[in-house]
């Protein structure tokens, strides 16, 4: 029994260290962005795998959206962007109307762009939507960010869409500065 437990602990430690290598730890409770240890190879990997920079770059975001559409999962980035916009809302009436729009479009059962979140998160949002706050979608947004970071983003980096984006940012033999390349 002790050997089995040690094997499980080693496997969990290996999985965590692999996530740390990519600069992010995601689980159902937290999203932590960690700075990877810099070496010539990890620095290049970190530049190419920086999803935060991708999401703030219009060209990168457009390419990522195109990729997600090809995988029939564009609702993830659309939800994430809707949440970012929602957090900037200052008017109480607009908070309520935007929250209801996000809920009906992404959260409720059979929503047109329903996102893949766990029951407890969906249930908590459903209970709190009557009196929404700017933080009412935070947990769901973290879950979707993790889903994109762990699942979609690594595939995006291997895609033809990403390769075309990289090639379009090259001038002669020099690359233009692009935050996630």
pLDDT at 57: 87
What is the pTM assigned to this prediction? 0.69
Does pLDDT of 29 surpass 80? no
Interatomic CA distance for residues 113 and 102, integer angstroms: 10
Angle in degrees, CA 21, 76, 83, rounded to 5: 100
> Smallest Cα–Cα separation from 148: which of 94, 83, 90?
83
Tell me the per-residue pLDDT of 97-151, one tens digit each, with 9 for 90 and over: 999 999 999 999 999 999 999 999 999 999 999 999 999 999 999 999 999 999 9
Q: Residues 170-174: what's their mean pLDDT?
A: 56
Percentages helix, strand, coil for the chain (3-state, rounded to 5) are: 65, 5, 30
């Amino acid at each position: 029994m002790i050997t089995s437990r040690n094997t499980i602990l080693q496997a969990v430690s290996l999985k965590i260290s692999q996530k740390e290598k990519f600069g992010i730890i995601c689980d159902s409770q937290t999203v932590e962005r960690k700075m990877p240890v810099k070496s010539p190879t990890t620095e290049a990997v970190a530049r190419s795998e920086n999803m935060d920079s991708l999401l703030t770059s219009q060209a990168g975001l457009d390419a990522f959206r195109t990729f997600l559409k090809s995988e029939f999962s564009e609702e993830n980035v659309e939800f994430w962007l809707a949440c970012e916009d929602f957090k900037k809302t200052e008017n109480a009436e607009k908070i309520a109307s935007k929250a209801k729009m996000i809920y009906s479009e992404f959260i409720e059962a059979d929503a047109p762009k329903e996102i893949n979140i766990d029951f407890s998160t969906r249930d908590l949002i459903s209970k709190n939507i009557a009196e929404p706050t700017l933080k009412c979608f935070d947990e769901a947004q973290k879950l979707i960010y993790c889903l994109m970071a762990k699942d979609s983003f690594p595939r995006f980096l291997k895609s033809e869409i990403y390769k075309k984006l990289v090639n379009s940012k090259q001038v002669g033999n020099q690359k233009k500065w692009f935050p996630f390349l």
